[in-house]
Chain A
Amino acid sequence: MQDSPIRRHHVQISGDPRAPALLFAHGFGCDQRVWRFVAPAFEPDHRVVLFDHLGSGRSSPDAYSPTRHATLQGYADDVVELIERLGLRDVVFVGHSVGSTIGLLASLKNRGAFSRLVLLAPSPCYLNFPPDYFGGFERSELEELLRLIERNDLAWASFLAPVVMKNGERPELREELQQSFCSMEPGVAHRFAAATFLSDHRGELEGVRVPSLIMQCRDDSVAPPQVGEYLHRHLAGSTLRRLAATGHCPHMSHPEETVDVIRDYLREAAMAA
């Protein structure tokens, strides 16, 4: 039971159990609670499934593996396992930021499981490779991000962590750390950030067969417009929607528009089918 992916990922299921499944995957530095303004809108006509990536939110700390989760493939394996264990079919996968890359990779591992991919502020690669590709960042800038994360670890978690991790007699300490939103154990955040921001998954795009919706925000300084266009060109069966929403987290800053765009897309998809 400790081993069940449902427990491991702190899975929360709501909505109509007979309706099509919507699986929401959060991005780096967050947890499933980021979907709180968006997910409820789908409950009347979907089975809504929320989960935390291992190492994030309230996932079980013991299940996190520094080797498995050193790359996004490990996270994608988790998603496939989760879908299989929940017995979901024709899943509409909604991923934000790196969550969307994880969804793309997962769709290559189990080709039958997904019906649609909804990609919120996605990027297959954050690095610049001039002259063909501009992910938005130089390597040195992303390394600066890693140092920043390390620094913010230092501020609180790493002083607490040795106590938390070593102290089997006081599991409540660990619990407390887990409860705080978006918190990650030191090392985990750093490793997840490295897997997210220093990887290059452009090569995998051509293999993706599941139709997708790319939701590109205005003024997104993490995933710039040319990245959305690149994805659109390289993902077969993709639709590109430019949002009025600004920033990198439209599901938090502009939930109504986010819901509407996803709804419209799913309605059109249903009609086309």
Chain B
Amino acid sequence: MTDSIDRWPCGLLSLDPGGRIVAVNRSLGDGLGYLAEELLGQSIDRLLPAGSRIFFHAHLQPLLAVKGQVAEVYLPLKTRHGETLPMLVNATSVAEGEGHRSDCAFFPTTMRARYEERLLAAKCEAESERSRNAALAERIAVMREQLRQSLAHTLHESLAQEIGSLKWRLEALHAGAAAAGTESANELAELARTAGATLERVRRLSYELHPLELQQLGLRAATQRCARALAAGTGVAVEVVGGDPLPAARDAASLVLFRVVEEALRNALGHARASRVTVEIGHDAGTIMATVRDDGIGMCAGTPDEPGSLGLLEIRQRLASVGGALALRTAPGRGCTLEARIPRAVPEPGVAAGPGRASVSSTG
């Protein structure tokens, strides 16, 4: 090497196609405890600790051959005395005769390596913290849903039953009074009507707290029923598609998907001025997903998070709680497509194992 390059503040090395050192500067030799001359003709393996050796031959060399260059690869070298020196390497591959010569520049990275060590530790820490939080968030979500479900159940099963029988008895009394021409007949009719309206409201409340039919009918049928109920009287054509049966999903996942579709439907029917809304429920290898597409006025993507608008925000949060994600494709005048995806299996380091079926215990 020419004198100046010989002393440059980085290690320079050229390898022939067989991985033999054909040029090396003095800085690198010094750093590793060799005379540069001693290294000429040696295999690069001489300078590579075992881990680096495999990484170099299995990954870096092919990478160089195909891409022509690599940058900022962490590749420790080994000194004459067997110590490991952390290094970063940039390398280019230069066509030469039949094969390729590889030119490498090494930078010692001892200080940086120490930071990275700490960074890596901090990252692991953050990762496990995050997964604890995610697990906690899912548990909270599950418990909230359990509570709602048990309230819904109580409302639906006992309260609604009682009001129902009240209504039925009032109707019977009214029928008797009407037949006898008693003057309380009108009042009884009015009371029966009120009981009927209350019954309707209690059922609605129960449903809003928790769609009990989700467990009874499954996601697709429950969605169909929900779509029909929401669309009634709006004049908008709502269609639920997706024929094949859904794979068994975690309860938490199908509930989230149901809620997401419900909110998306409310938006499409309430804001979009759409004439047609399509809901699609499906799955692929690793995910279950729902798409709600409308042909309405659309909106500017990125601006819907106004204060007071909690629907989309809640959708995102619900999805995040089960490791899912939301994609919103929309533009003014272009309708709106909302796609929610939830992994079928629990994501790797994150959320804890899927919650069991929410229990339906009457809390009194």
Q: In the bound complex, what is the Cα–Cα distance between A266 and B214 (angstroms)?
A: 60
**Contact A30 B58, CB 8 Å, known A145-B51, A151-B116, A166-B325:** yes
**Contact A151 B74, CB 8 Å, known A145-B51, A181-B67:** yes
- Give the contacting residue for A151; candidates B17, B19, B120; CB below 8 A: B120
Whether, in the assembled complex, B256 has its beta carbon less than 8 Å from a beta carbon of chain A, the answer is: no
Closest B residue to A63 by CB, please name it. Answer: B285
Closest B residue to A223 by CB, please name it. Answer: B57
Please indicate the chain B residues that have their CB under 8 angstroms from the CB of A248 in the complex: 57-58, 61
Tell me the smallest distance from the CB of A86 to a CB of chain B, in Å.
18
Whether, in the assembled complex, A236 has its beta carbon less than 8 Å from a beta carbon of chain B, the answer is: no
Closest B residue to A180 by CB, please name it. Answer: B67
Q: In the bound complex, what is the Cα–Cα distance between A60 and B284 (angstroms)?
A: 12
Is the pair B62, A34 in contact by a Cβ cutoff of 8 Å? yes
Q: In the bound complex, what is the Cα–Cα distance between A19 and B272 (angstroms)?
A: 57
Is the pair A154, B59 in contact by a Cβ cutoff of 8 Å? no
Interface mask (A143-157 → B, CB under 8 Å = 1, otherwise 0): 011111111101110
Q: In the bound complex, what is the Cα–Cα distance between A151 and B116 (angstroms)?
A: 8
Please indicate the chain B residues that have their CB under 8 angstroms from the CB of A147 in the complex: 51
Whether, in the assembled complex, A82 has its beta carbon less than 8 Å from a beta carbon of chain B, the answer is: no
User: Number of B interface residues, CB 8 Å?
Assistant: 43
Q: In the bound complex, what is the Cα–Cα distance between A146 and B119 (angstroms)?
A: 17
Whether, in the assembled complex, B241 has its beta carbon less than 8 Å from a beta carbon of chain A, the answer is: no
Whether, in the assembled complex, A3 has its beta carbon less than 8 Å from a beta carbon of chain B, the answer is: yes
**Contact A27 B58, CB 8 Å, known A144-B49, A148-B51, A166-B325:** yes
Is the pair B285, A182 in contact by a Cβ cutoff of 8 Å? no
Whether, in the assembled complex, B230 has its beta carbon less than 8 Å from a beta carbon of chain A, the answer is: no
**Contact A154 B119, CB 8 Å, known A29-B58, A138-B50:** yes
Is the pair B63, A181 in contact by a Cβ cutoff of 8 Å? yes
Closest B residue to A220 by CB, please name it. Answer: B57
Q: In the bound complex, what is the Cα–Cα distance between A253 and B64 (angstroms)?
A: 11
What's the interface size class on A, roughly? 35 or more
- Give the contacting residue for A141; candidates B51, B75, B327, B339; CB below 8 A: B51
Whether, in the assembled complex, B26 has its beta carbon less than 8 Å from a beta carbon of chain A, the answer is: no
Whether, in the assembled complex, B262 has its beta carbon less than 8 Å from a beta carbon of chain A, the answer is: no
Whether, in the assembled complex, A215 has its beta carbon less than 8 Å from a beta carbon of chain B, the answer is: no
B49, B62, B67 — most chain A CB neighbours (10 Å) = B62
Q: In the bound complex, what is the Cα–Cα distance between A206 and B284 (angstroms)?
A: 38
Interface mask (A194-225 → B, CB under 8 Å = 1, otherwise 0): 00010000000000000000000001111000
Show the binding face of A for B, using Cβ within 8 Å. 2-3, 8, 27-30, 33-34, 36, 60, 62-63, 65-66, 97, 137-138, 141-142, 144-152, 154-156, 158, 166-169, 181-182, 187, 197, 219-222, 246-249, 252-253
29 A-B pairs (CB sep. < 8 Å): A2-B284, A2-B285, A28-B59, A29-B62, A29-B63, A30-B63, A60-B285, A65-B286, A65-B345, A137-B50, A142-B54, A145-B50, A147-B51, A148-B51, A148-B74, A148-B75, A148-B76, A152-B74, A154-B120, A168-B341, A169-B326, A169-B327, A219-B43, A221-B43, A222-B58, A246-B19, A249-B58, A253-B18, A253-B99
